[in-house]
A and B are shown apart, each in its own frame.
Chain A
Amino acid sequence: MKVLIVDDSRAMRMIVKRTLGQTDVGKCDVVEAENGAQGLEQVEAEKPDFVLCDWNMPEMSGIEFLQKLRESGSTVTFGFITSESGENVKELAMETGAQFIVTKPFTAQALNAVLMPCVA
């Protein structure tokens, strides 16, 4: 299983990676990107099984990244991990093609609950 973590915070990428290791997903190869633009390149180059992405990032936001991914025909499993918690944000994420959205701070149990149905 290969996962792409996209977040402009190095600390948060580390936390997501650590928490991912505490889920039932199993051993993952993790690749990282600092923004949506880098994320697009990494999806093309690395062909991840799923993407865990922040919402607010410089250069290209998470939702712009997802829009471009879906426009390109990519069906990669995509979830947001974000401090955004508004209903309008959740609706936009799902309408654009995200499979789930997790609000920071998050637990391994919360991540597990949304990831397992997607990767099983």
Chain B
Amino acid sequence: MSTAVLPSSKDVTEMVHGLLGVDVKEVPAPETDIYSIAEFTNNAGEVVGYLACDLGTGCRLSAGLTMVPPGAAEDAISSGQITESLSQNLDEIFNICVNLIRGDSDQHVGLHEVIHGSAAESFAARKDAIESGDAQSFGFEIARYGVCKLIVSCC
């Protein structure tokens, strides 16, 4: 069974700061809908946790990772879906953020799959798993890019 533990707000803001290299401050988590879900599994193939975010967070984080101007992120948000290049960046962000799921456990945890958009197969099931698990929302503001929310859920 999973031994994953939820990270602290400081863990999350430090992770995002480390990824983007810009100022990140903790703010109240906004009310938003989940758009992207990353599922993490251990060596036995058991799901140990999820990271999830809304469309705005996915676009802003992804743009910030490769210093794409904030306007491009806002354009993607207005279009209602993440672009291919931004989604590749978001996959990498989720891959690195495995350490938010792993906690202090020695078990190997890896990114299994990322899905974007409520139309994606198994989106609803995974959203239910997140909401029914040990989940916490973390709000943070990325300098120049704006307010974001990351949900961390441990099974």
**Supplied contacts A11-B89, A12-B92, A105-B19, 8 more A-B pairs, CB within 8 Å:** A9-B88, A9-B91, A10-B88, A11-B66, A15-B66, A83-B96, A85-B102, A105-B96
State the CA gap A14–B85 with chains docked (Å): 13
Per-residue CB proximity of B107-135 to A under 8 Å, as 1/0? 01010000000000000000000000000
Per-residue CB proximity of A12-28 to B under 8 Å, as 1/0? 10110000000000000
Residue numbers of A with Cβ under 8 A of B are 9-12, 14-15, 56, 83, 85-88, 103-107
Min C-beta distance of A71 to chain B, whole Å = 25
Q: Does B15 contact A (CB under 8 A)?
A: yes
Residue numbers of B with Cβ under 8 A of A are 15, 18-19, 21, 65-66, 88-89, 91-92, 95-96, 98-99, 102, 106, 108, 110
State the CA gap A29–B15 with chains docked (Å): 29
Task: State whether A56 touches B108 (Cβ < 8 A).
Answer: no
In this complex, the member of A88, A103, A104 whose beta carbon has the largest number of chain B beta carbons within 10 angstroms is A104
For B110, list chain A residues within 8 Å (CB).
Answer: 56
Task: State whether A83 touches B98 (Cβ < 8 A).
Answer: yes
In this complex, the member of A12, A85, A87 whose beta carbon has the largest number of chain B beta carbons within 10 angstroms is A12
Task: State whether B106 touches A87 (Cβ < 8 A).
Answer: yes
